[in-house]
């Protein structure tokens, strides 16, 4: 998330739009480093040789090596085309040409990118389309739960509504502050046990929401203190 916010801040500083592309069937494009054999799939069994196995030439969905194979493939492609990988944020790649720069953030099969030169941007789109089957999504609008309006405005309104819906609070009353400043939460050992996994999931969802709502940080920090077995 920090890398995405860094890219957005750079785009705002240099007044550059952020674009987004999606690579289709990314796991099928990875090249396997080891030999892997599978049973013949139904409908493709060779008559008289049903007990034989087949050797995979490329990665498949569900294969534990598929993610690594795809990452190796895309990483090699970037570096062969003049990109440098950030040593501190491995999902960030940067290409420099004279005084121009192109920034690319990779998250599995989704890429967002920005630059200060239109020619570099178009060249990147064309080479990506040539190398991989992809969808050009145009300007970045929605990425990892973040709603982005180029300008730059970032929100998680849809994500917040999903949390309300998941925990049956869609019709709850609104309040002006995240938590009563006089509220004091204490452990209580005399009640019924709470579903710890559900509580942790809720707190985790709220923590992610603080990416665009820093005013929630204190309240979420307080409820995060009670992540052990709970009673009410």
The reported pLDDT for the residue numbered 94 is 94
% of the chain with per-residue pLDDT over 70: 92
The reported pLDDT for the residue numbered 188 is 67
Specify the 3-state DSSP secondary structure of 99.
coil
- Set out the domains of the chain in order of their start, with CATH numbers: 2-29+64-149 (3.30.160), 157-231 (no CATH)
The reported pLDDT for the residue numbered 122 is 93
What DSSP element (H or E) covers 110? strand 110-115
pTM above 0.75, yes or no: no
CA distance 191 to 186: 13
What DSSP element (H or E) covers 146? strand 146-149
Instruction: Tally DSSP H helices, then E strands, for the chain.
Output: 6, 13
Pick the range with the lowest mean pLDDT from 13-22, 148-157, 167-176: 148-157
CB burial readout 13-48, b (16+ within 10 A) else e: eeebebbbbebeebbebbebeeebeeeeeeeeeeee
- The larger pLDDT score, comparing residue 213 to residue 228, is at 213
């Amino acid at each position: 998330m920090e890398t995405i916010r860094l890219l957005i801040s750079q785009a705002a500083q240099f007044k550059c739009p952020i674009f987004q592309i999606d690579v289709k069937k990314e796991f099928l494009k990875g090249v396997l480093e080891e030999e892997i054999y599978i049973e013949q799939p139904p409908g493709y069994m060779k008559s008289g040789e049903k007990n034989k196995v087949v050797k995979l030439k490329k990665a498949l969905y569900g294969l534990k090596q598929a993610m690594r194979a795809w990452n190796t493939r895309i990483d090699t492609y970037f570096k062969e085309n003049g990109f440098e990988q950030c040593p501190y944020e491995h999902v960030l790649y940067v290409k420099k040409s004279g005084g121009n720069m192109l920034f690319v953030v990779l998250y599995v099969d989704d890429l967002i990118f920005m630059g200060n030169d239109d020619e570099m941007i178009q060249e990147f789109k064309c080479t990506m389309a040539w190398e991989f089957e992809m969808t050009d999504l145009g300007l970045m609008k929605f990425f990892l739960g973040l709603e982005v309006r180029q300008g730059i405005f970032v929100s998680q309104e849809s994500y917040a509504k999903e949390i309300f819906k998941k925990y049956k609070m869609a019709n709850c009353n609104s309040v002006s502050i995240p938590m009563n400043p006089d509220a004091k939460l204490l452990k209580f050992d005399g009640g019924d046990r709470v579903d710890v996994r559900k509580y942790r999931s809720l707190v985790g969802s709220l923590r992610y929401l603080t990416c665009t709502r820093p005013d929630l940080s204190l309240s979420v920090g307080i409820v995060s203190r009670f992540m052990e077995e709970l009673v009410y």
